[in-house]
Chains A and B, each alone.
Chain A
């Protein structure tokens, strides 16, 4: 089970609202490679993982992703605080505002709502962990793109932290995949599902 900790994993303190920037950063909440999808991907995949260490990696990273959702949401909240209607109109934030005001809603920058179709839980740990490695890379490059678009150091700082965590998670998933493969017959690495066929 879970327990909420009343602190951010990494602090967010943004002095200047910037709704145009919020409109792109929201992709890391509910977009195709965002933190909500990351958390749901790992927390759903973990049940049929074939060894305890991989269960731990998926549980612990899936849990950390929930904390990352909270960091992205804190950034969005602070970037859209105290806006005038003029600022909302001029920044292009009006298309989000009309449905959600300044509430936090998981969607991609394009406006597409979060979808579980952005991730899989195949029941096959080789397929799942390979997807997880790609997912961490995709999230990392999305943060890189956000860093190209964001000048404010108050925003860049927590984004850089989140980017660094993607790299660490990629490393841990690589180790998890190796653990699963080490238990397989070397001649049959990719020929069957270790959680079902063994």
Chain B
């Protein structure tokens, strides 16, 4: 796996941790351990996402501008099998 896909996989793992923690916190909103877990992965996710978008391509439309160009519509799409 190349560096780009390695970083994307990390983002996927961090984000999944957040998605799962979100569900848990919806029904356990005062769990200290859960809140700390969420904070930890939110920081890791944001840092990795920023690095990926700076190096490679936007992951959402809000980050669509890259090198003064609209990169959102011109990159490969995730269902094409080559990853993003």
Contact = CB atoms under 8 A, between A and B. Distances in A.
A112 interface: no
A60 interface: yes
A47 B61 CA distance: 18
Interface residues of B, number: 9
Interface in A30-50: 46-47
A161 B61 CA distance: 22
A102 interface: no
A26 B75 CA distance: 37
B76 A60 contact: no
A132 to B, nearest CB: 17
B61 A60 contact: yes
Given A47-B79, A53-B74, A55-B73, 14 more contacts: A3-B60, A46-B77, A52-B73, A52-B74, A52-B75, A52-B76, A52-B77, A53-B73, A55-B77, A56-B72, A56-B73, A57-B73, A59-B77, A60-B61
Interface of A: 3, 46-47, 52-53, 55-57, 59-60
Nearest to A54: B73
Interface of B: 60-61, 72-77, 79
Which secondary structure dominates chain A's binding surface?
A: helix
Nearest to A60: B61
Nearest to A46: B77
B69 to A, nearest CB: 13
A190 B59 CA distance: 35
A55 to B, nearest CB: 5
Contacts of B79: 47
A130 to B, nearest CB: 21
A89 to B, nearest CB: 38
14 contacts: A46-B77, A47-B79, A52-B73, A52-B74, A52-B76, A52-B77, A53-B74, A55-B73, A55-B77, A56-B72, A56-B73, A57-B73, A59-B77, A60-B61
Contacts of A57: 73
A193 B74 CA distance: 22
B45 to A, nearest CB: 12
A178 to B, nearest CB: 15
Contacts of B61: 60
